[in-house]
Amino acid sequence: MALTTKQIQQHFDGFLQTPSLWENNAVFDLQQFQIEQKPLQISIEINPKLRLGKYIERFVSFQISENENCKIISENIQIQKDKVTLGELDCLLYKNKKPIHLEVIYKFYVYDEKVGTTEIDHFIGPNRKDSLTEKLNKLQHKQLPLLYSNECKLYLSNLDLDVLNIEQQVYFKAQLFVPFAKKDLQLTLLNPECICGFYINQQELQQFSDCKFYMPSKKDWLTMPHIHVDWLNFNAFKTKVNTYLERQFSPMVWVKHPSGNIEKLFVVWWHA
């Protein structure tokens, strides 16, 4: 389905308003990319069929291109060996004339204290199929080391780049969701401003019986909740959400309280 200019702008605005998951190099010594998060009128064509990760990369490309201190060298660089793709470098750019290899990540995680032993361990995907720890390990041991591979040397030399001069950084943004019963959860390592909602399971739904609901599409997960959508009453929503939960898929939901207050949450198919 084609996306309207307004939808793309709402997605981009939501991306800009999402904070980085940590500050500086506080996590795994991975340095966060610093760039001004100023409002921009987006003016690029984006293929609506792109999966969310690639969609986000287009936003980052536009944001960098609009910054006078930055210049993109190359993007989505496939590194191959014997016609087999070893991996991809998301972006090579100059920032203040300093070459940077940048990996772009945007994630949605929920907090389950039963998983692992650390704050980082506790954050997993809403469907329990991935985790923050897994992503950080992949960055550390696979994605970032690719820059130093023999196969990458020729590519860099063609760009007149010396690998020893390239700084590696990550642009890691995330939306975090905490248990409904622990909405006052305090984070010590990760950025608390990333907490933007909570999650509930099917048994906890009844507490919201006097509310209205909306289930955004995956790309609309980026959008800040607003009132101008087709709201469902509780019974209609419960029927719809059950079709997702039966498939072991945890959808994002906007809930509008009788007061008019709107919150963002996940309804998960599993029990914490």
pLDDT digits (tens, 9 = 90+) for 15-45: 999 999 999 999 999 999 999 999 999 988 8
Residues 57 and 101 in one domain: yes
| Residue 135 in this model has a pLDDT that exceeds 70 | yes
Look at residue 82 in the predicted model and tell me its pLDDT: 86
Structural domain ending residue among the three candidates 164, 193, 222: 193
Residues 220 and 109 in one domain: no
Domain count, the chain: 2
Classify 189 as helix, strand or coil.
Answer: coil
For the chain, give me the number of helices (H) and strands (E)? 5, 9
Look at residue 1 in the predicted model and tell me its pLDDT: 65
Residue 71 has phi, psi (to 5 degrees) of: -145, 125
How many whole angstroms separate alpha carbon 104 and alpha carbon 169?
9
Residues 96 and 149 in one domain: yes
Instruction: Give the start-end residues of each E strand in the chain.
Output: 70-81, 84-95, 98-111, 123-124, 167-179, 195-201, 212-214, 252-256, 262-268
Residues 233 and 166 in one domain: no
pLDDT digits (tens, 9 = 90+) for 62-113: 999 999 999 999 999 999 988 889 999 999 999 999 999 999 999 999 999 9
Strand partners, 104: 171
pTM for this prediction: 0.96
Classify 132 as helix, strand or coil.
Answer: helix
Structural domain ending residue among the three candidates 158, 193, 228: 193
Residues 218 and 87 in one domain: no
Residues 221 and 133 in one domain: no
Residues 26 and 52 in one domain: yes
Residues 28 and 160 in one domain: yes
Residue whose structure tokens are 């099917």: 202
Q: The domain containing residue 69 runs over which residues?
A: 5-180+185-193
Would you give the DSSP letter of residue 47? -
Residues 3-22, mean pLDDT to the nearest whole number:
96
Residues 217 and 164 in one domain: no
Long-range contacts formed by 123-128: CB under 8 A, 24+ apart? 123/176, 123/190, 126/177, 126/199, 126/250, 126/252, 126/266, 126/268, 127/248, 127/249, 127/250, 127/269, 128/270
272: confidence class by pLDDT, cuts 50, 70, 90: confident
Residues 144 and 253 in one domain: no
pLDDT digits (tens, 9 = 90+) for 184-233: 999 999 999 999 999 999 999 999 999 999 999 999 999 999 999 999 99
Residues 189 and 216 in one domain: no
Element (H, E) at 62: helix 52-65
Residues 58 and 159 in one domain: yes
Residues 141-151, mean pLDDT to the nearest whole number:
96
